[in-house]
Structure 1
Amino acid sequence: MHITDLQNGSDIRGIAIATPEDAVTLTPEVAQAVGRGLVNWLVAEKQLGSQLEQEKLTVAVGQDSRLSGDALKTALIAGITSQGAHVIDTALSTTPAMFKATQFPDFDCDAAVMLTASHLPFYFNGIKIFSRDGGAEHDDIHYILTHTDKNTQKNLGHVSEKDLLTPYAQDLVNQIIAGTGLANPKPLTGYHIIVDAGNGTGGYFAEKVLSVLGANTSGSQFLEPDGHFPNHIPNPDNPEAMASIRQAVLTHQADLGVIFDTDVDRSAVVDQFGNTLNRNNLIAILAKIVLEQTPGATIVTNSPTSTHLKNFITQLGGKQVRYLCGYRNVINKAIQLNQAGIDTPLAIETSGHAAFRENDFLDDGAYVIAKILMLLPQLKADNRQLSDLISDLQQPIDTQEIRFKINLADYRSYGEQVISALGAFVTATADFDTDTDNEEGIRVNLTGTYGQGWFLLRMSLHEPLLVLQVENDVLGKNQLVFETLATFFNQCQPLDQSALEKLLS
């Protein structure tokens, strides 16, 4: 294995704890090399050579609750300081807070590094990197991984420790108070809000944000950092995790439930009636917020969003641009649109990654919740509920997703061939109509015999998989769609069709 094999888009990820099936790939030696490469990147690509020569170059380093975090952080810091750069160790942190270490005057860091693998199992870990300009891109990570040599600096950098979550939380508190438009420093007094941190790093939100704002947070769960993740996957896109926070809200008769992923760059909510507001529902809520603030604006999403969501955004006077999956892809698309003069205040994926222009296009799960909390006092004054904001969003009757593993080394090329061939099959099939408003894979609208809905076939972003998502407003019609598509996929022998066969059995 080469170190570059650990690149995962704009992140670095690997196995950090050996399992019976997997050997360790993200080792302390790799982390130390990344530390050296990071400094080389800052000098070469960010023109910070003079900062380094003056012994002022500073990098913040934080970690989530993963068991491998301490060892990897020690090695990463050793790599950074060996190049003459200083390190501020922020200990337990969140990914959005790490970026703020490059923005807050009290930290004033030239870069920040977060050790996390998001919602992946406990034996994974990863590295996310920020400069003052934002998150590292794919090419930046490649540069870092291929330029890991020791530089000529003779003096080692020093290491200090500093709490980042407390000032980050206070910044959120200040923004929420301002966002309510009220003079009350405790605008959430009288609200019962439950937090589910999934034993990641989001537990601070209950004490340092909600309680400070006056909310009752009793019944909050899994706030304690635990890298075993013993209760459920810390992932607001996971049905088990959403069921857990939903039950907590109903059991404690709370007004709202908030759930974060491990490093708090994603989030979702549950209202007092148990309605889960994630995926398309969360996008709709945030779309409603930004379109009231910025009428006629454009919102960028990833490709697998509901047709009903597009109709909802259009009815609000906005425009949706469906773009490629991957949080950096949707963020970069929104940035490009703004640069072209197209008013685009929000980029969001169905997984929960959401980035607001007003917040430096940082995918920040805590800021998403902050935007929602700002609404609560006004909603109460109007005798309305959060879910009322999307009462006009039609919900599909049936949504299913299956994944085909591609059993070839050159899996991406073959996957694209399958997508292309499916286009001809669609053209020859009555009541299948290709949707041209799509930039990833092939999206098909379903009518007549196949009910009323759509399906999307696309390549997985990082895995050797073809992902098929089917949505319908007519109960039972998805089965017919799968049966028809099976006649096409049966010709694609390199595909593992066990998931489709199981569905049709």
Structure 2
Amino acid sequence: MTDMVEKLFELQNGTDIRGIAIESKKKDINLTVENIKRIIGGFVIWLEARKSVGREKLKIAVGMDSRLSGPKIKEVISRKLSSLGCTVYDCGLCTTPAMFMTTVHPNYKCHGSIMITASHLPYYYNGLKFFTEDGGCEKEDIKYILTEALKDNYKVVLSRGKILKMNFINEYSQLLIGKIRKGISSKVNYDRPLAGLKVIVDAGNGAGGFFTGKVLEPLGADTHGSQFINPDGKFPNHIPNPEAEEAMKSIKNAVIKNKADMGIVFDADVDRAAIVDDSGKGINRNILIALASSIVLEEHPGTTVVTDSVTSKGLSEFIQGLGGKHYRFKRGYRNVINQGIKLNQEGHQCFLAIETSGHAALKENYFLDDGAYLVSKILIKTAKLKEQGKNIESLIEGLKIPLQSLEFRFPILKEDFKEYGSRIIENLKEYIKKVDGWEEAVNNYEGIRVECGKENGDGWFLLRLSLHEPVLCLNIESDAAAGSRIIVDRLRPFFIKYEDLNSNSFK
């Protein structure tokens, strides 16, 4: 039983379930059919308790991205839910944000929903995300679900629940179309307000290809040149990840080749996105946050923008220059989103919570991290700017881009890696007190962030523990040509003395 407990809980990845669903040369399957059945049983028990509704009255939606293991897992989940008496809405190929919307859409109002995805991870992974109308499950909810899953103690039901097939992505697309039409409010062409715009999509063969034919084209956009929009669970062209250099390079080349006004790249399950402007400039990470902040601050002057810990100094200055407040919090998109929600509950206005990975959640949209919704907001602004002879780049002209950006990942070799990593961070706090021109940043919620004076690196660095791996992450930014080298040279003596820290990449 102890071995089963360990193996089941190993599948928890923060607020998700993730594991190996297809055997590979390096990995054995641990997201097994039996484990999936147990987890779904635990989810039903959790949902019953949360909703005070018997399982025979529960309505649960199930969808998947394009991964090869998705259809089999969806069938296992649907049959298990049906055997427990639940009504199942089989949404087929869908996106993570759309699956949340099944819980609030007036035609369905499902008690819960399940998305089968592992985001941008290699094809042999898969996983589960759970939602109610209150949002995604938290870490504590996943622990509860797994604890109940281990009991495997379910009451027999008299009759199986129905499994109803539906194509919810069509209805979700109509929500986005309505949002864009209303946002642009074109008196010339209300139904096709994107006519005259050339917008191409790179879905990386994930679930985001729908945006081309079901959203952009009905709105009048020219999508010629869109690529990798057909689902293919092996992701043969490039990893569907807006943070990945190969993904951004792919959409940049497509924009330039096709002379498009904008390029859009989605991750596999469309909870993240990035764009490319008409010149081929990539707009992701800090630049995407600046663009989203500019749009939101125009609508809600003075609002707070919550980001993760590795955002740049230039971004803070940009947000403040627009009259906004920048709240730099922890890594982890759920951390960022939850902090945005918390600020509103405490009476502080926050309309945007966004992580550098591309997870962007707006208050107006349930604080749901939804790449397609963010892109829809950007398209609305793009269409309005085009009428003025401007492009989207004009919104971020004042953003200061650091001259150098570096990231190092140091594997921790100790079994108790959290204690060891935390001790290194505490020791670094003492070390920097002896370095001229270095000062620990105030209002830092993760690891240690250090501001480096103009003659001492002209930038900043952040050392933190990885959220899920035995790794210390070091981010460095500088506005000087030799700034990063100065910072690295002064940090090297500190790191190399730790025998159980693999800092070879730093030597």
TM class by shorter chain equals: over 0.9
Q: Which residue of 1 aligns with 2:85?
A: 84
The residue that corresponds to 1:174 in the other structure is: 178
In structure 1, what is the Cα distance between the partners aligned to 2:323 and 2:12? 40
- The percent of aligned pairs where both chains have the same amino acid is 47
| Inter-CA distance 315–448: structure 2 relative to 1 (3 Å threshold) | closer
The aligned residue for residue 239 of structure 2 is 233
Deviation (angstroms), 1:29:
1.2
**How far 1:449 moved relative to its partner?**
3.3
Instruction: Note the C-alpha offset of 1:14.
Output: 0.7
Q: Quick check: 1:443–1:454 contact (8 Å CA) kept in 2?
A: yes
- How far did residue 207 of structure 1 move? 0.4
Between stretches 68-77 and 467-476, larger displacement belongs to 68-77
Partners of 2:24 and 2:196 lie apart in 1 by 47
Task: Give the residue type in structure 2 aligned to 1:357.
Answer: K
Using the size of structure 2 for normalisation, the TM-score is: 0.96
Q: Which residue of 1 aligns with 2:287?
A: 281
AA aligned opposite 2:53: L
Pick the aligned partner of 1:46 from 51, 55, 61.
51
Match for 1:474 among 476, 480, 501?
480
The Cα of 1:156 is off from its aligned counterpart by 2.0
1:493 is matched with which residue? 499
Q: Which AA in structure 1 matches 2:9?
A: T
Instruction: Give yes or no for the alignment of 1:433 onto 2:439.
Output: yes
Distance 1:48 1:395 in 2: 52
Letter in 1 for 2:175: D
- Report how many residues are paired: 497
Q: How much has 1:150 moved relative to structure 2?
A: 3.6
**Distance (Å, rounded) in 2 between the aligned partners of 1:152 and 1:122:** 36
Corresponding residue for residue 152 of structure 1: 155
CA distance in 1, matches of 2:179, 2:254: 27
In the alignment, the residues of structure 2 paired with residue 495 and residue 364 of structure 1 have an alpha-carbon distance, to the nearest angstrom, of 37
| Secondary structure, aligned partner of 2:17 | strand
Report the AA paired with residue 35 of structure 2. V
What is the DSSP-based 3-state SS (H/G/I as helix, E as strand, rest coil) of the residue aligned with 1:237? coil
Please give the residue correspondences for 1:111-126 in structure 2 after superposition, counting only pairs within 5 Å.
111-126=112-127
Opposite residue 490 of structure 1, the aligned amino acid is I
Partner of 2:464: 458
The one-letter amino acid paired with 1:247 is N
Q: Could you tell me whether the CA contact under 8 Å between 2:436 and 2:456 is conserved in 1?
A: no
User: Any unmatched runs of 5+ in structure 2?
Assistant: 1-5
Deviation at 1:27, TM superposition (A): 1.1
- 2:457/2:486 contact within 8 Å kept: no
Deviation at 1:263, TM superposition (A): 0.1
Give CA-to-partner distance per residue, 1:130-182, whole Å, 9 cap, x none. Answer: 01211111111111111022421422222111001000001100001111132
**Who is 2:17 aligned against?**
12
The answer to whether the 8 Å contact 1:33/1:79 transfers is no
Determine if the alignment matches structure 1 residue 2 to structure 2 residue 3: no
Counterpart-to-counterpart distance in 1, 2:449 and 2:414:
24
**Does the Cα contact within 8 Å between 2:204 and 2:228 map onto a contact in 1?**
yes
- SS of the aligned residue for 1:2 comes to helix
Match of 1:222 among 228, 232, 238: 228
Letter in 2 for 1:161: K
Match in the other structure for 2:144: 143
1:105 deviates by: 2.0
What does the per-residue CA deviation read over 1:417-450, in whole Å, with 9 as the maximum and x for residues that have no partner? 1111100011111111111121111001111433
Match of 2:290, SS? helix
Q: CA deviation at 1:108?
A: 2.1
CA RMSD, 1 decimal: 1.0
* Structure 1 residue 73, shift from structure 2 partner: 1.5
Deviates more, 1:373-382 or 1:205-214: 373-382
Q: Is the 8 A contact 1:36 1:82 kept in 2?
A: no
Structure 1 residue 41 displacement after superposition: 0.4
Q: Which runs of 5 or more residues in structure 1 are unaligned?
A: none
- Contact 1:323 / 1:330 at 8 angstroms: preserved in 2? yes
More displaced stretch, 153-162 vs 340-349: 153-162
Offset, 1:30: 1.2
Query: Conserved in 2, the CA contact under 8 Å of 1:270 and 1:276?
Result: yes
Which residue number corresponds to residue 401 of structure 1? Answer: 407
Q: For residue 151 of structure 1, what is the amino acid of its counterpart? A: Y
- Per the alignment, residue 103 of structure 2 pairs with 102
